[in-house]
């Protein structure tokens, strides 16, 4: 049975995670400042949701992934639920891997963040460039998708240490 103090603490952590997702959405879609380096444009929601799945459970990460995918599809012109399905599927797989196979350490967080980001960008490349027979689709893969996936995974470091700090404060 969960006591009132622990329930309040979980609600505060949930509120902070929702606020962080909102801030990530503003950073991702805002033109006020850019975190882009060259052609690499990170999708920083991926490492954030990996860390959420680490410390708050698999289902919270999956629900946030579906919700953020719906948001991404609503502001995009022609994705037709791609982001919702891709992020949902990727985070279902990552949630199972986190729950049953990986330890909660920084190397596993980096590996899962890189794997999830690569999976997302490769799926995007397949559905929007290869299957539509777009000329020069390999340029997108090597000049945008792979550098963006690597750059996205780098954000797992600060998210991991912030979540670990809050997790240790919680105990």
Q: Residues 137, 125: contact at Cβ < 8 Å?
A: yes
* Position 1 confidence tier, pLDDT thresholds 50, 70, 90: low
Inter-CA distances, 115 with 97, 109, 146, Å: 11, 10, 11
Helix axes 45-56, 82-100, angle to 10 degrees: 40
Q: How far apart are the first and last CA of the chain?
A: 17
Q: Does pLDDT of 171 surpass 60?
A: no
* Per-residue tokens: 110: 């980096």
Take residue 145 and report the two structure tokens written for it. Answer: 């998708």
- The pLDDT of residue 90 is 93
Task: State yes or no: pLDDT of 86 exceeds 70.
Answer: yes
Predicted confidence (pLDDT) at residue 169 exceeds the cutoff of 70: no
Q: In this model, does residue 2 exceed pLDDT 70?
A: no
Contact 163, 51 (CB under 8 A): yes
Q: Which tokens belong to 65?
A: 């992934």
Where in 104-165 does DSSP place strands (E)?
none
Residue 95 contacts residue 61 (beta carbons within 8 Å):
yes
Average pLDDT (96-107) is: 88
Residue 139's pLDDT is 84
The whole-number pLDDT of residue 135 equals 77
At 73 the pLDDT is: 85
What pLDDT was estimated at residue 115? Answer: 94
Distance CA(132)–CA(122), nearest Å, equals: 14
- Could you identify the residue written with the tokens 């380096």? 37
How remote is the C-alpha of 105 from its chain's centroid? Answer: 17
pLDDT value, residue 154:
94
Q: What percent of the chain has pLDDT over 90?
A: 33
CB 83 within 8 A of CB 69: yes
- The structure's pTM equals 0.88
Amino acid 170: pLDDT: 59
**pLDDT one-digit tens code per residue, 26-84:** 888 887 778 888 888 889 999 999 998 888 888 888 999 999 989 888 887 777 888 89
Q: According to the model, what pLDDT value does residue 116 have? A: 95
Tokens 């882009």 belong to which residue? Answer: 36
pLDDT at position 120 over 90: yes
Q: Other CB atoms closer than 10 Å to residue 90's CB: what's the count?
A: 23
């Amino acid at each position: 049975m969960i006591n009132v103090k622990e329930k309040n603490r979980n609600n505060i952590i949930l509120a902070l995670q929702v606020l962080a997702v909102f801030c990530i959405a503003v950073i991702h879609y805002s033109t006020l400042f850019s975190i882009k380096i060259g052609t690499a444009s990170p999708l920083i929601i991926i490492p954030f949701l990996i860390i959420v799945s680490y410390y708050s459970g698999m289902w919270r990460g999956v629900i946030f992934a579906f919700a953020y995918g719906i948001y991404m599809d609503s502001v995009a012109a022609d994705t037709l639920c791609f982001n919702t399905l891709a992020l949902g599927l990727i985070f279902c797989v990552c949630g199972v891997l986190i729950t049953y196979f990986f330890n909660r350490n920084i190397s596993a967080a980096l590996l899962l963040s890189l794997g999830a980001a690569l999976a997302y960008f490769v799926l995007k490349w397949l559905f929007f460039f290869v299957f539509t027979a777009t000329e020069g689709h390999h340029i997108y893969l090597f000049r945008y998708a792979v550098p963006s996936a690597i750059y996205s995974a780098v954000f797992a470091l600060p998210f991991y240490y912030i979540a670990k700090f809050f997790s240790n404060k919680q105990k």
